[in-house]
């Protein structure tokens, strides 16, 4: 039985002036799948995320999500359809409290999701999500005064509040301690249990291996591997890209 791809992006090309950031990249994700996206710095991972989420538009290529062509849609519409991304550097709404931060995606994205809960109030839904990520006791705190880990969790919580079908977690674990990384992995697994497909972009290899069902490797804007994590890790070209000749 073949499952239709949730996300299908073909031949994504993006250049900045003379610099080719993405060179005909294909990426597909099935519903509920856990995909790791890795590659050396500057390989185009962030550019790819930006193109998928709509922050920038690709030069050529098609992107379809849930059967719909989305390459012409502005970012906010893609979010409403269910593609949600977090930011490498957390971007909380600093004038708002933690729980208020979540009311924004709940109101503007979550509501457009078929089957969205409209009986329970936004604040209550927000508190439930905060409970899930472990930020419940910080709900009334100003979001400007959180620790690094807490900000990463808030990013994830905000993404969840948008009711994603596909969550792109952009280097959520960068710079965190061993225990904190485990926390985030568990969190992502929990979200995946709820049916959310996840693309994890990371440099922390043990996290990618532990989490992903499939790993995609980008080097210098090109996809050079797309297979089970252990296969990818033993791929000669991948090893070369990371460790050099």
Partner 1 sequence: MVTFNLLLNAVVTGILLGGFYAAVTIGITIAFGMLDIVNIAHPAFIIMGSFIAYIVNRTFGVDPILTVIVASPLFFLLGVAIFSFYHAAFEGSGKGSLRGLAFFFGMLFVIEVTLLLAFGVDYRLVQTSYIGPNVGFEHVDLPLRMVIPFVGSIALVSGLHIFFGHTFVGRAIMAVAQDEFALSLMAVDTVAIRQLAFGIAIATAAIAGGFLIVIQPVDPSLGREYIGRVFAICVLGGMGSIPGTVIAAFILGVVETITSTLVGPSWAPAVSFATLLLTLAVRPSGIMGR
Partner 2 sequence: MRRFPSWVWPIAVAVFTLAVSRLVENEYYMFAGYVVLQYIVLASAWNILGGYAGYVNFGSAAFFAIGAYGTVVLDKLGEPPLVVAILFGGIVASLVGLVTAYLTLRLRGVFFAIATLALAIVLQTLVMNWEFVGGPLGVYTTRPDSITGFPGYVNYLFVVMLVLALISVLVARAIELSFVGRGLAAIRDNELAAECCGVPTFRLKVLAAMLSGGLMGMAGAPFPYYITYLDPNSAFSIAYGINSIAMPLVGGMSHWIGPVIGAVLLAVVQQVATVTISSELNLMIVGVLLISFITLAPNGVVGLFERYRQQRHWRPGK
**Which residues here bind partner 2, judged by CB under 8 A?**
53, 55, 74-76, 79-80, 84-85, 87, 91-96, 103-105, 107-110, 112, 158, 161-162
- The C-alpha atoms of residue 222 and residue 13 are separated, in whole angstroms, by 10
Question: Which of partner 1, partner 2, none sits in contact with 34, Cβ below 5 to 8 A by type?
Answer: none
DSSP state of 33: -
| Nearest CA among 46, 69, 57, 76 for reference residue 168 | 46
Comparing CB distances to partner 1, the nearer of 17 and 67 is 17
* DSSP assignments along 149-180, one per residue: HHHHHHHHHHHHHT--SEEEEESTTTT--HHH
Q: Residues of 210-237 as b/e, b for ≥16 C-beta within 10 angstroms?
A: ebbebbbbbbebebbbeeebeebbeeee
| CB 27 within 8 Å of CB 201 | no
Contact status: 41 vs partner 1 (CB under 8 A): no
Residues numbered 152 to 171 that lie near partner 1 (CB under 8 A) are: none
Residues numbered 12 to 31 that lie near partner 1 (CB under 8 A) are: 17
Comparing CB distances to partner 2, the nearer of 52 and 215 is 52
Distances (CA, A) of 53 to 166, 191, 244: 10, 19, 31
Contact status: 94 vs partner 1 (CB under 8 A): yes
Nearest approach, Cβ of residue 89 and partner 1 (Å): 11
Question: Which of partner 2, partner 1, none sits in contact with 17, Cβ below 5 to 8 A by type?
Answer: partner 1
Q: Is the dihedral of CA 21, 158, 29, 36 positive or negative?
A: positive
Contact status: 89 vs partner 1 (CB under 8 A): no
Nearest approach, Cβ of residue 235 and partner 2 (Å): 33
Question: Which of partner 1, partner 2, none sits in contact with 242, Cβ below 5 to 8 A by type?
Answer: none
- In this structure, the number of other CB atoms found within 10 A of the CB of residue 108 comes to 14
Nearest approach, Cβ of residue 62 and partner 2 (Å): 21
Comparing CB distances to partner 1, the nearer of 17 and 114 is 17
Binding-site ranges for partner 1 (CB under 8 A): 17, 94-95
């Amino acid at each position: 039985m073949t499952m239709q791809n949730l996300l299908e992006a073909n031949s994504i090309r993006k250049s900045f002036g003379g610099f080719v950031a993405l060179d005909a990249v294909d990426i597909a994700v099935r519903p509920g799948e856990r995909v790791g996206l890795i590659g050396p710095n500057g390989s185009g991972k962030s550019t790819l995320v930006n193109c998928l989420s709509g922050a920038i538009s690709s030069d050529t290529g098609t992107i379809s999500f849930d059967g719909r062509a989305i390459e012409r849609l502005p970012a906010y519409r893609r979010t409403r359809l269910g593609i949600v991304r977090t930011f490498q550097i957390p971007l909380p709404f600093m004038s708002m409290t933690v729980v208020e931060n979540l009311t924004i995606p709940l109101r503007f994205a979550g509501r457009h999701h078929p089957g969205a809960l409209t009986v329970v109030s936004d604040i209550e839904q927000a508190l439930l999500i905060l409970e899930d990520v472990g930020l419940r006791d910080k709900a009334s705190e100003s979001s400007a005064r959180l620790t690094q880990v807490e900000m990463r969790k808030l990013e994830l919580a905000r993404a969840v509040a948008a009711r994603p079908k596909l969550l792109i977690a952009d280097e959520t674990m960068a710079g965190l301690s061993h225990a904190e990384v485990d926390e985030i992995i568990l969190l992502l697994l929990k979200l995946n249990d709820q049916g959310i497909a996840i693309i994890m972009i990371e440099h922390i290899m043990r996290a990618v291996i532990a989490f992903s069902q499939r790993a995609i490797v980008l080097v210098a804007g090109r996809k050079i591997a797309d297979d089970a994590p252990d296969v990818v890790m033993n791929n000669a070209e991948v090893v070369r890209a990371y460790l050099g000749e």
